[in-house]
């Protein structure tokens, strides 16, 4: 049945369009913060709480890394100008709830 639909779609330009549209929608969904497999960049240090602020480079969600080591805290000084990757996802405190970035 899938094969028949695929062949049919060759002759019906509109279903090509909608297929492209669906593929586009899926790629948009991939950047939804709820489904995104985040890749974090350190973007700042939060002085008041001594946490690192990280941002996902794919969906732009923000989160924080509590309790950075002295070295980690020291190296975030230039993060605002030069964000750098944060690999340890287990330490990310992901705090985006619903569609609101807190
Ligand atoms: Zn993300």
Tell me the per-residue pLDDT of 2-33, one tens digit each, with 9 for 90 and over: 666 555 555 655 555 566 655 555 555 446 77
CA 4 / ligand 1 centre spacing (Å): 37
Percent pLDDT > 90 in the chain is 46
Tell me the per-residue pLDDT of 44-56, one tens digit each, with 9 for 90 and over: 999 999 999 999 9
- pTM > 0.75: yes or no: no
Cα(12)–Cα(29) distance, integer angstroms = 26
Residues near ligand 1 ion, CB 5 Å cutoff? 36, 38, 56, 58-59
Tell me which of 25-39, 52-66, 70-84 is least confident: 25-39
Domain boundaries, the chain: 1-30, 40-94
CA 20 / ligand 1 centre spacing (Å): 24
CA 23 / ligand 1 centre spacing (Å): 19
* Buried/exposed code over 44-66 (b: 16+ C-beta within 10 A; e: otherwise): bbeeeeebbbbbbeebebbbbbe
CA 87 / ligand 1 centre spacing (Å): 13
């Amino acid at each position: 049945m899938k094969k028949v639909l695929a062949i049919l779609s060759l002759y019906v330009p509109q279903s090509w369009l909608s297929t492209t549209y669906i593929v586009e929608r899926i790629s948009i969904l991939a950047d939804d913060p709820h489904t995104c497999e985040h890749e974090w960049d350190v973007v700042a240090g939060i002085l008041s709480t001594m946490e690192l602020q990280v941002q996902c480079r794919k969906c732009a969600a923000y989160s924080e890394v509590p309790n950075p080591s002295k070295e980690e805290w020291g190296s975030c000084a230039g993060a605002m100008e030069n964000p750098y990757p944060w690999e340890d996802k287990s330490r990310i405190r992901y705090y985006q709830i619903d569609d609101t970035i807190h």
